[in-house]
Amino acid sequence: MTVLLVGADKLGNMPKELEDHGASEIIHWTGRKEKNKDIPRHVDLILVVHDYVSHALMDSVKGQAKRRRLPIIFAKRGVAELKQALRNGK
């Protein structure tokens, strides 16, 4: 499974948690000064760390995910929040 991680300047333990959840590839966009990027075709899941992403990029990613029917999960910073979001699928 390929995960697009949007937001977060430093990933810390997030990649390990995503790998434990089944991710074989993680693509990271910092989300600060980026906007209007196209989600790669092979992405299976999108994780948005919304404390660290610009509104323009978040809106773009949400729209693309909706059009492509990709699952998208929103989480605040931190691995504990990420674990909970992955468990809930939200």
Where are the chain's structural domains? Answer: 2-88
Q: Where are the beta strands (DSSP E) in 7-89?
A: 25-29, 45-49, 72-75
Q: What is the pLDDT of residue 63?
A: 94
Residues 6+ apart with CB under 8 A from 45: 1, 2, 3, 4, 23, 70, 71, 72, 73
Averaged pLDDT for residues 32-48: 87
The fold for domain 2-88 equals: Rossmann fold (3.40.50)
Q: What is the pLDDT of residue 65?
A: 95
**pLDDT at residue 90 above 70?**
no
Q: What is the pLDDT of residue 89?
A: 67
